[in-house]
Amino acid sequence: MQKNLVEISHMSFSHENGKPVFDDVDIVIPSGKITAIMGPSGTGKTTLLRLIGGQLIPSQGKIVVAGQTIHQLSSRALYKLRKRMGMLFQASGLFTQLNVFENVAFALREHTNLSESMIHTLVMLKLQMVGLRGAAYMEPTALSGGMARRVALARAIALDPDLIMYDEPFTGQDPISMGILVRLIRTLNEALGLTSVIVSHDVQEALSIADHVYVISNKKIIGSGTPKEILDNSSRQLQQFIQGLPDGPVPFDYPANSMEQDFL
């Protein structure tokens, strides 16, 4: 496998309504490692995952995934490449009409001709990896948030992808679920030889498992390196984010009229 699974160079992207999200951004995701992409909310971290997955096309620059420029592929080639990626959405994205087993089996049924017993074994294997083999026949609506996320994780690894992307996996989790998820991300990455990309604004958890970190703010990368390098970095912007300071380069006060105008 090549050294970098994903290479983003000089990428700029704006939303349909013109709002710019990224401006000349360079990101490299090394294979086999866990890379965290962090930043204040609204900086377009989910958009970045969509760009890597080929759901969005950059206005400028290149995004190369596994040696292929993903936004220039034909739909067939794109779908073929997507089979090598797994994505865990914030809202878990489980199919509500199917039970847990069928959800995990979905990709297997769609893309392979495996026999029922093979599928059964594989699904149970994936569920076992996330610790939910006993929940195989429950309905998605009956699952707690943390369990739903784990099922979505099992579903994302069903086809044994090379790359797996996590969109805000730690948000809104209780400490136990958080711990479970952190452990799962780490062990899966090593056991399956995955490349993991985590998008999060949970500084503590992300820094605890990431091998490499990018911090994005205001359309640009304001810091990159190993967790230790980030923590030691003296940039004020970076430090405000890392330490969660309420005021600093990102101001506390939303831009407003002068005090005299509003209060007198």
- Asked if 219 is part of the footprint of other proteins (rule: CB under 8 A), the reply reads no
Q: Which is nearer to other proteins, 27 or 159 (CB)?
A: 159
95 makes contact with other proteins (CB under 8 A): yes
Distance between first and last Cα of the chain: 66
- The 96-135 contact track toward other proteins, x by CB under 8 A, reads xx--------xx--xx------------------------
Say if CB 15 and CB 21 are below 8 A apart: yes
d(CA 83, CA 52): 13
* The binder of other proteins chosen from 1, 91, 118, 245 (CB under 8 A): 91
Q: Which residue, among 33, 28, 39, has the nearest Cα to 203 in the 3D structure?
A: 39
Can you tell me the distance from the alpha carbon of 237 to that of 162, in angstroms, rounded to the nearest whole number?
34
Radius of gyration of the chain (CA): 20
**Cβ contact 187:199 at 8 Å:** no
3-state secondary structure of 229: helix
Q: Which among 89-97, 114-122, 218-226, 251-259 is the span making contact with other proteins, rule CB under 8 A?
A: 89-97
Beta bridge partners of 163: 85, 195
Of 37 and 94, CB closest to other proteins:
94
C-beta of 87 vs 194, nearer to other proteins: 87
- Contact between 32 and other proteins (CB under 8 A)? no
- Is 5 among the residues that bind other proteins (CB under 8 A)? no
* Residue 134 burial (CB count, 10 A): 9
Contact 193, 178 (CB under 8 A): no
- Residue 242 to residue 101: CA distance in whole angstroms: 39
Tell me if 25 contacts other proteins by CB under 8 A: no
Nearer to other proteins, 117 or 141 (CB): 141
Residue 32, by phi and psi: left (phi above 0), alpha (psi -120 to 50) or beta? left
Q: Is residue 236 close enough to count as binding other proteins by CB under 8 A?
A: no
What is the pattern of x (binds other proteins, CB under 8 A) and - over residues 39-78?
--------------x-x-----------------------
| Sole window of 91-99, 113-121, 200-208, 218-226 interacting with other proteins (rule: CB under 8 A) | 91-99
Give, to the nearest 10 degrees, the angle between helix 100-111 and helix 116-129: 130
Between 162 and 201, how does the x/- string for binding to other proteins read (CB under 8 A)?
Answer: ----------------------------------------
The residues binding other proteins (CB under 8 A) are: 53, 55, 79-80, 82-83, 85-87, 89-97, 106-107, 110-111, 152, 155, 159
